[in-house]
Amino acid sequence: MSIMNLNKPAETETQPVFRLHGIPYYPKHLNAKGQGRHKWVGPGREHERKEYTTTELTELGAELVTRQLWKRSWTDEVQGWINI
C-alpha cells in the first residue's frame, strides 16, 4: 500500500475570471447541494463581498480573462466564450 503525499500542491487549470472596474470576480465553488453555478464572487469576507451572476457581469460590461485556479466543474460552460 502506498502512502498519499498530502504535501503535494493541488493542480490548477486555466479558468475564466471576470474583471469589473479592475476588481476580479472568481467562479464560486459549488456547495454540497450543487448551488453556486454561474455565480462569481469578489474579494472580501463572505457576508461583505459582492456576488454576481454570469449574466449580470456580462450586462455590466465586465471583461472575461483567465487565471490559473483550482478546477471548478461548471466553468467548462463558460470556457467556450474565450480562447484558452
Q: For the residues of 29-54, what is the DSSP string, one character each?
A: PP-TTSTTTTEEE-SS-TTTS-EEEH
pLDDT at position 80 over 90:
no
pLDDT at 74 over 90: no
pTM > 0.85? no
Mean pLDDT of 58-83: 79
Residue 83 predicted with pLDDT over 60: no
pLDDT bin (cut points 50, 70, 90) of residue 84 is very low
